[in-house]
Structures are given as C-alpha cells and as structure tokens.
C-alpha cells in the first residue's frame, strides 16, 4: 500500500523486457527555507536533471524506471512556495523505461538534486542567493549511452543540471586496513564550472592525471565499487560543459583501486580536492 496524503499514489506499469525500477511515491516536504520533493523507488536509481526558464520547469528523468502518468493533487503542494505543479510522464524508447518528473515553478529558483538509497531528492530554494541560470533552449532528441540504450528529449547544451546514481546505503564503519567503498558518483554543471565528484565511506587517497587532450583520469587508492549500478557511465554529452563522459571501473590488483576516466569534449583547467569523504574534480569554463 502506498501513502496517499502528501504522497502521489502511482500505479506501476508492467515491467518491460529489461527489468526496471518501480516508482513507488513522491512526497512534497516544505520547510522554512526550502521545499524537498522526495522520489521513492523499488531500488537505487539513475537520474539526470535539467531546467528551463520559460515557463520555469525543473525536469528530473529517472532512467530505467516505470510509472504510469499521473499528476500530484493541489492539496499535496500546500505550503510549497514556488512549486505550482508536479507531474509524472513516460518516455520509453528502445525497449527501456524512462519516467519523467516535471516540477512547474512560479519563478526560477536555485535547486539541487541528490540521491541516497532508493530515493532521489529535489531541493528547491525560494530564497537562495545564487542567481538562477536555467537553460532556455528548445528540446532536441538525445541518445543516452546507457547499457540499455535509453533515450531522452533533454534540451541540447543544458547550462544548469546534474547527473547521478543513487546507491544502497554503505556502512561508514571501515575494517582496519580493508578497502574503502565508493557509495556515490555524480556530475553537476553550472554556468561557470563542471564538477565530477565521488563519495566514499571514509577519506581516501587519490591521484589525478591528464592523458592527452581528451582524458582526465582519477584513481582512488585501496577502494572498490560495491554496487554494480555505480560502474555504469554518466553521459554528460548534452550539457554545456567540457566534460563528455564519466566512466568508473575497478582495477583488480593486490590492492584494489578505482579508476574514473573523464572523457573531455575539449581541454579545460581543473583542480581536484578532498572535501570530507568526497573527492571533487572541478573543471573551469
């Protein structure tokens, strides 16, 4: 049984030929300075987000996810400043499922999309200080290079947006001398920079090197990728970004390591820093 008050009750469609996650519900959680829209599914998700300014709409595509088209009732949006509508639609192609969450806004606002476990959280900041820079380009067909060949009609050259893979929770406890575990990998694009970040369950040692003009390689020492979902690549082709593709892989050796290969559209200056448990590689535009 699904919650039906502030949650959007969704009938799950029959699974396609390739197994897909099932969208279970959407919960709108307004607070003093933000509005969180929490999407719950049957398993970890892969998402991409983009935004448009006229009219102001924030779109989150849930790849390889099934749900019947639906609209959130007005009562569920009570107290959610700037959020005027939430709809779910299907954009399946090539035998793969894609569910689209569209958030209609009364005006452009700062936002963030994050993932944890089987949830993706879209956070809206009505009083945010950052100037919104939504893309206002016309949509075009885009082929995503996923293992299932999913297609999306995200607009070309998106300025503001993100890519990420939700993962199962990973225990922060670390066995003495044991390998670290990567719990999340993501990409975020803005008007001034593109950021690739990897989150682990403890602080990690890493190196970053450039290979020619088209590759930047991040290697994380003594670390593994426990969830298969996090070994699939992230395709940043449709972003207005020097980054084209992000491909994580495990290197099996006496001491395991993670190699994240960042394919570039063009050369760009970058810096890599450790922020807590996250390794953050920032490319300047």
Domain annotation covers residue 8: no
Residues 36, 119, single domain; the answer is: yes
Q: Which residue has the higher pLDDT, 243 or 10?
A: 243
More confident residue, 173 or 204: 204
Same-domain pairing of 32 and 160:
yes
What CATH number corresponds to the domain at position 49?
A: 2.60.40.3500
Query: Strand runs (DSSP E) across 64-148, as ranges?
Result: 65-66, 70-71, 83-90, 98-105, 110-116, 119-125, 142-143
Domain boundary among 139, 165, 191: 165
Query: Given 165, 191, 224, which residue is the final one in a domain?
Result: 165
Give pLDDT, residue 265.
96
Rg (CA), the chain: 19
Residues 65 and 138 in one domain: yes
Write down the pLDDT at residue 97.
81
Most confident of 114-123, 135-144, 160-169, 190-199: 190-199
**Considering the chain, what is the average pLDDT of its residues?**
79
Q: Between 133 and 216, name the one with better pLDDT.
A: 216
* Residue 140: per-residue pLDDT: 27
- 175 located within any domain: no
CATH code at 277?
2.60.40.3470
In a domain, 12, yes or no: no
Rounded to the nearest 5 degrees, what angle is found at the Cα of 195, between the Cα atoms of 190 and 197? 145
Residue 236 sits in the same domain as residue 100: no
Distance CA 268, CA 91 (A): 34
Domain-embedded: residue 172:
no
Q: Report pTM.
A: 0.66
What is the structure's pLDDT at 166? 63
pLDDT tens per residue across span 274-285: 999 899 999 999
Judgement on whether residues 208 and 99 belong to the same structural domain of the protein: no
Q: What is the mean pLDDT of residues 99-105?
A: 93
Q: pLDDT at position 129, please?
A: 43
pLDDT in the model for residue 157: 66
pLDDT surpasses 60 at 173: no
Residue with more model confidence, 244 or 150: 244
Q: Is residue 171 part of a domain?
A: no
Cis ω before 228 (30° cut-off from 0): no
Can you give the pLDDT at residue 149?
32
Residue with tokens 């300047």: 284
Q: Which residue has the higher pLDDT, 129 or 118?
A: 118
Does residue 151 surpass a pLDDT of 50? no
Q: How many C-alpha atoms does 158 have within 13 Å on its Cβ side? A: 29
Confidence of residue 6 (pLDDT cuts 50, 70, 90): very low
Average pLDDT over residues 38-59: 85
Output the pLDDT for position 163. 79
157 and 28 in a common domain: yes
Domain that holds residue 254: 180-284
pLDDT above 90 covers what percent of the chain? 37
Label residue 244 by pLDDT band (50, 70, 90).
very high
pLDDT score recorded for residue 183: 84
Q: Which of 147, 146, 184, 186 is nearest to 167 (CA)?
A: 184
Task: Let me know whether 90 and 118 are in one domain.
Answer: yes
- Region 59-86: mean pLDDT is 88
The pLDDT of 56-74, averaged and rounded, is 88
pLDDT surpassing 70 at residue 120:
yes
Residue 144 lies in a domain: yes
Number of structural domains (the chain) is 2
pLDDT band at 177 (very low <50, low <70, confident <90, very high): low
């Amino acid at each position: 049984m699904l919650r039906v008050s502030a949650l959007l009750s969704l009938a799950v469609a029959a699974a396609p030929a390739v197994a897909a996650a099932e969208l279970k519900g959407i919960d709108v959680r307004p607070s003093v300075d933000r509005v969180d829209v929490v999407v719950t599914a049957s398993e970890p998700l892969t998402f991409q987000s983009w935004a448009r300014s006229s009219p102001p709409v924030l779109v989150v595509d849930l790849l390889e996810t099934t749900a019947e088209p639906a609209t959130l009732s007005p009562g569920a949006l009570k107290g959610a400043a700037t959020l005027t509508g939430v709809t779910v639609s299907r954009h399946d192609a090539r035998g793969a499922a894609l569910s689209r969450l569209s958030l209609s806004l009364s005006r452009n606002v700062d936002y963030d999309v994050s993932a944890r476990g089987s949830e993706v959280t879209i956070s809206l900041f009505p009083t945010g200080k950052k100037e919104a820079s939504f893309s206002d380009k016309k949509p075009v067909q885009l082929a995503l290079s996923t293992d299932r060949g999913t297609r999306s009609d995200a607009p070309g050259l998106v300025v503001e947006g993100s890519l990420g893979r939700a993962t199962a929770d990973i225990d922060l406890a670390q066995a003495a001398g044991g390998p670290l575990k990567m719990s999340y990998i993501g990409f975020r694009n803005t008007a001034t920079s593109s950021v690739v970040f990897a989150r682990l369950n403890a602080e990690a040692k890493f190196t970053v090197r450039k290979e020619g003009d088209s590759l930047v390689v991040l290697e994380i020492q003594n670390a593994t990728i426990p969830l298969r979902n996090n070994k699939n690549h992230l395709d940043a082709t449709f972003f207005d970004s020097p980054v084209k593709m992000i491909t994580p892989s495990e290197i099996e050796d006496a001491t395991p390591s993670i190699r994240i290969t960042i394919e570039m559209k063009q050369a760009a200056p970058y810096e890599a820093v450790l922020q807590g448990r996250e390794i953050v590689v920032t490319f300047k535009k």
